[in-house]
Structure 1
Amino acid sequence: MTDLESSGLSGTDSSLIIVDDDKAFLQRLARAMEARGFTVDTADTVAEGMRKVDQKPPAYAVVDMRLEDGNGLDVIELIRKRRPESRMVVLTGYGNIATAVTAVKLGAVDYLAKPADADEVFAALTRDPTERALPPDNPMSADRVRWEHIQRVYELCERNVSETARRLNMHRRTLQRILAKRAPR
């Protein structure tokens, strides 16, 4: 009996698309989800993901938020239009409340920070929709959350330090020192 069958979802469509530009992670997660009973298809770009969703909308999806050629939320939105009952999880290396809210509004059932393991992804995909998500075992530290937020604003400002500092209401030199350091754990 596969994990998918033991979750009470046997007999349902087990098609899953995973869209992520980290090829090593994509292959590992695909193998792990196949071992749990899913029929897995993969894509490493938004364009490829959207093409595959257009051809055959999946019952489940795991989509990275930031891909080299665009935003994974575009894939989520297309899946929601083509197959409204799909269960989708968004993965991201940049935790952000605004994007989490957008992902959920577009139909994602959960929003997981990378590196998420296969067990977390499987639990998010198969959890009873009326059940609340469990708090993470290893949540990001407050310093890491702050650093991620600064990085996100910096990227949104097209890596313009002065504009990022202005938007964050922070001195430019302070921001430069933060950006020069490694990410906190």
Structure 2
Amino acid sequence: MSLLIVDDDKPFQQRLARAMEKRGFLTETADGVQDAAIKISRAAPAYAIVDMRLEDGNGLDVIEKIRQKRPDARAIVLTGYGNIATAVTAVKLGAIDYLAKPADPDDIVAALARKPEDKAQPPENPMSADRVRWEHIQRVYELCDRNVSETARRLNMHRRTLQRILAKRAPR
């Protein structure tokens, strides 16, 4: 039950590693793509939990390396910035699930243990469509270095409309 946790958020990584060890996994951690590649080349894990956005690259690269070394490995992707295109790519590269951060350790164990033919249970409290939209706007805003005009252009939205949205609190 070897498990590799790849996340550049050290406190989250350490909490998750302790939680997974309590659930019977032999955990090893990596801070990024390069660190993970070294550990995978030494011994590919049976399970992996990989953050999508890492300081030195993309978590999908880690999923791909694990799949090349150990095709039967079961890996899930965690992310704070979920979108459908990335989820589809993660699954095509071999991830078995795609969870939003911060994910509950029990949900992670359930995802790792789920058989391929079993469908995931719908979330108890899914994000509303307004919240998903708000999260997407916030992500693009951050990627544009908090430049309102550039963000509005990329979202095909009027700048004043975007300013009003950014001034409001996040929907629930």
Output the TM-score relative to the length of structure 1: 0.85
User: How far apart are residue 180 of structure 1 and its match?
Assistant: 4.4
1:145 maps to which residue?
Answer: 132
In 2 relative to 1, CA 181–82 (structure 1 residues): closer, same or farther, beyond 3 Å?
farther
Matches within 5 A, 1:110-129: 110-129=97-116
Matches within 5 A, 1:43-122: 43-122=30-109
In 2 relative to 1, CA 112–48 (structure 1 residues): closer, same or farther, beyond 3 Å?
same
In 2 relative to 1, CA 65–146 (structure 1 residues): closer, same or farther, beyond 3 Å?
same
After superposition, the C-alpha distances for 1:75-124 in whole angstroms (9 at most, x for unaligned) are: 11111111111101000111111111111111110000111110000000
| Structure 1 counterpart of 2:116, one-letter code | P
Q: Gapped runs of 5+ residues in structure 2? A: none
After superposition, the C-alpha distances for 1:159-185 in whole angstroms (9 at most, x for unaligned) are: 543333223221122223333444333
User: How far apart are residue 61 of structure 1 and its match?
Assistant: 0.4
Instruction: Please give the secondary structure, in 1, of the residue aligned with 2:14.
Output: helix
**Aligned counterparts of 1:79 and 1:181: Cα–Cα separation in 2:** 42
**Aligned counterparts of 1:33 and 1:66: Cα–Cα separation in 2:** 21
In 2 relative to 1, CA 162–107 (structure 1 residues): closer, same or farther, beyond 3 Å?
same
| Structure 2 counterpart of 1:59, one-letter code | A
2:162 maps to which residue?
Answer: 175
Q: Could you tell me the percent identity over the aligned residues?
A: 77
1:20 maps to which residue?
Answer: 7
Q: Which stretch of the first structure deviates more once superposed, 40-49 or 96-105? A: 40-49
- Number of aligned positions between the proteins: 172
Q: Which stretch of the first structure deviates more once superposed, 147-156 or 128-137? A: 147-156
User: How far apart are residue 152 of structure 1 and its match?
Assistant: 3.2
Q: Gapped runs of 5+ residues in structure 1? A: 1-13
Output the TM-score relative to the length of structure 2: 0.90
Q: What CA RMSD, in Å, does the superposition of the two structures yield over aligned residues?
A: 1.8
